[in-house]
Structure formats: C-alpha cells, structure tokens
Amino acid sequence: MSDLTPKSLSELKETIKREHPNLSKRLRQVAEFVIDSPSDVAFGTVAVLSEQAGVHPSTWVRFANSFGFSGFTEMQKLFQQKLMEESPNYQDRIRMARDALGTNDSDQSPYRLLKRFSDANVLALQHLAEIISTEELERAIDVLANAHAAHIVGVRRAFVVASYFAYALRHIDRKAYLVDGVGGMYKEQASTLDENDVLIAVSFHPYAEETQGVPLIVITDNQISPLASIATVSFVVKEAEIDSFRSLSSSLVLAQALSIGLAHELEKREQLPLKS
C-alpha cells in the first residue's frame, strides 16, 4: 500500500478501490461502508459507525491507519470537507437563476420579488430531493413509528417548522409535544422525555443531560452540525435565500414527507398479521 496519505475524499476512494483485494475481511467491510455511506462517515461517531458496519470500533482505527491517517478523526475530516465543498455548487445554481432573471436591482415590483423567491425555492426543493436519501427517510420514519411520543423543538425561524411538525403528527393521531420554552422552561419540558420517546430538533442544540438515550432526529442547515454526532438520523437542509430573507420551504416539505410517510408506515403495520 502507498505511503502517501490521501489528501481528498476522491483520492481516498480511489485508493480504497485499488487496495480492496488486499484488505482483511473486516477492513473490507469498513471499506464498503465508506464507499456506500460517505455522509454517515462524515457525521458519525466510531461507536455508531461500528454498529452500522458490523465491526469492532478498533477496526475503524485500523482502517484509518492502513491508509496513512493518524486515526479515525483525521480521516473523517476528508468526508466533512467534501460535504462543506458541496454548498458552493448549490450557490452556483442560485447565481445562475439570478443571472437568468437579470440584475436590475431597481426593479423591486411585487411580481419580480415573487418570481425571485419562487425560482430560489424551486432550486432549494430540487436540491432537497437530491441530497436526502431513501435510507435516511426510512430510518427516521421507523424511529418515529416506534416512539411513544415525539417532542419537537425549534427556536426563532425554526419554530415555524417545529410548530408545523407537531401539528402534522397530531393530525395523524400521534402524541406530539412542542417544546416551546414558555416561561423559560426548556429544561423542565425536556425532562419529560424518556427512552421510549423521540426528540426532533430543528437547528437547535438540546440539553444533552435530559436527552441521553433518547432517539434524536435532527433537521439543520449546518453541514457539520454538532448535533449530527449524537443524532439517530440527521437531515442537512439548504433553504432558499433572497436578500438575507431565508425561506422555510425545504424544511416544511421534509417535515411533511416524514409525517405522511409515518402515516403510511403505521397503516402498513396495522395490516400486518399478528405473530403467534
């Protein structure tokens, strides 16, 4: 194996493919997981990734060492860097749409503003469909289906998404509680969580002490969100932005998809024959 440590994710992938036949059985398991699930590797802890890949945590360290890295964290940075570099591609698409509309800033007519926001949201929604995987959606819906109750938290503009999510879940007869912090009682509201519930956090850092052991679904606009490392499922959503005003269309559509997907999953489970 080459002594040169890969400097980018593409280099690492090429090296993995080249060296795959020479790897041990366990290292091949990790290699296949790395190629198939780069987003999981970018955000996951060694403990979580080991469970997903079906290997011992030390195997991840050995894998990283095999490709010249000092440890897992150094290798993981390549995956995080790649995700951070994906954002400009989306911004390029926004700029292309803006150029197509023209750059006459003096024209601030209601229709032109509507057109700008509409076009930006179309791009954001297309991007959403491209970056959210079937596996992530199915995993999140499974977590929601198995939970006794959902606790949803979001602040500032994210509060709108959290409120809608709570409404949508109640609409399909699920227990859903909006953690709104009335009277500054976030901690008290979070203390009602137990391991049979699920916490849905929209761009918000929950109280780790109160949420230990509770499944966590995160919706955030941060590629390297600190929440992602402790999340059961993490969705990174890029919203449309015009003149510093950010839309919520993508987050609301995601909340809608999860809620309706949950309704279908629950209906399917009710139709399954009982096990004897």
60-86 per-position pLDDT tens digit: 999 999 999 999 999 998 988 877 665
Question: What is the reported pLDDT for 210?
Answer: 54
Q: Roughly how many angstroms between the first and final C-alpha of the chain, as a whole number?
A: 54
Given a cut of 50, whether residue 276 has pLDDT beyond it is no
- Does 266 map to a domain? yes
Mean pLDDT score, 102-130: 77
How far apart (Å, rounded) are the C-alpha atoms in residues 240 and 237? 10
Shared domain for 84 and 147, answered yes or no, is: no
CB 128 within 8 A of CB 250: yes
- Does 121 map to a domain? no
Q: Cα dist. 133→75, 104, 197 in Å?
A: 23, 38, 24
Render pLDDT for 227-257 as a digit per residue (tens, 0 to 9).
766 788 888 888 877 766 778 888 999 999 9
Listed residues 85, 103, 121: the one ending a domain: 103
Place of tokens 């292309």: 96
- Does 54 map to a domain? yes
Burial of 262 (0-12, 13-18, 19+ CB in 10 A): buried
Shared domain for 170 and 80, answered yes or no, is: no
Question: What is the reported pLDDT for 248?
Answer: 86
Confidence of residue 209 (pLDDT cuts 50, 70, 90): low
How far apart (Å, rounded) are the C-alpha atoms in residues 241 and 131? 18
Question: What is the reported pLDDT for 275?
Answer: 47
Given a cut of 50, whether residue 88 has pLDDT beyond it is no
Shared domain for 86 and 162, answered yes or no, is: no
The CATH number of the domain holding residue 217 is 3.40.50.10490
Sign of the Cα torsion 49, 51, 57, 62 reads negative
Shared domain for 261 and 202, answered yes or no, is: yes
Given a cut of 70, whether residue 141 has pLDDT beyond it is yes
- Does 110 map to a domain? no
φ and ψ at residue 199, rounded to 5 degrees:
-105, 130
Shared domain for 153 and 265, answered yes or no, is: yes
CB 145 within 8 A of CB 269: yes
Helix (H) or strand (E) run with residue 149 in it? none
3-state secondary structure of 112: helix
Shared domain for 193 and 267, answered yes or no, is: yes
Given a cut of 60, whether residue 152 has pLDDT beyond it is yes
pTM: 0.59
Question: What is the reported pLDDT for 272?
Answer: 57
Choose among 240, 253, 254: nearest CA to 113.
240
How far apart (Å, rounded) are the C-alpha atoms in residues 156 and 110? 26
Question: What is the reported pLDDT for 96?
Answer: 54
Question: What is the reported pLDDT for 199?
Answer: 92
Q: How confident is the prediction for the chain on average, in pLDDT?
A: 81
Listed residues 103, 125, 157: the one ending a domain: 103
Listed residues 103, 119, 150: the one ending a domain: 103
Phi-psi region of 179 (alpha: psi -120 to 50; beta: other; left: phi over 0): beta
Shared domain for 65 and 190, answered yes or no, is: no
Mean pLDDT score, 196-224: 73
φ and ψ at residue 86, rounded to 5 degrees:
-75, -25
Domain count across the chain:
2
Shared domain for 87 and 161, answered yes or no, is: no
- Does 91 map to a domain? yes
Which residue intervals of 37-109 are DSSP H helices? 38-43, 46-53, 57-66, 72-101
- Does 118 map to a domain? no
Shared domain for 87 and 191, answered yes or no, is: no
Both tokens of 103, joined, read: 């750059």
Choose among 229, 214, 235: nearest CA to 149.
214
- Does 88 map to a domain? yes
Confidence of residue 212 (pLDDT cuts 50, 70, 90): low
Choose among 31, 171, 7: nearest CA to 82.
7
Shared domain for 92 and 154, answered yes or no, is: no
Mean pLDDT score, 81-100: 59
Shared domain for 37 and 153, answered yes or no, is: no
Given a cut of 50, whether residue 218 has pLDDT beyond it is yes
How far apart (Å, rounded) are the C-alpha atoms in residues 261 and 179? 23
Shared domain for 90 and 141, answered yes or no, is: no
Mean pLDDT score, 90-109: 58
The CATH number of the domain holding residue 95 is 1.10.10.10
- Does 143 map to a domain? yes
Domain span at residue 60 reads 1-103
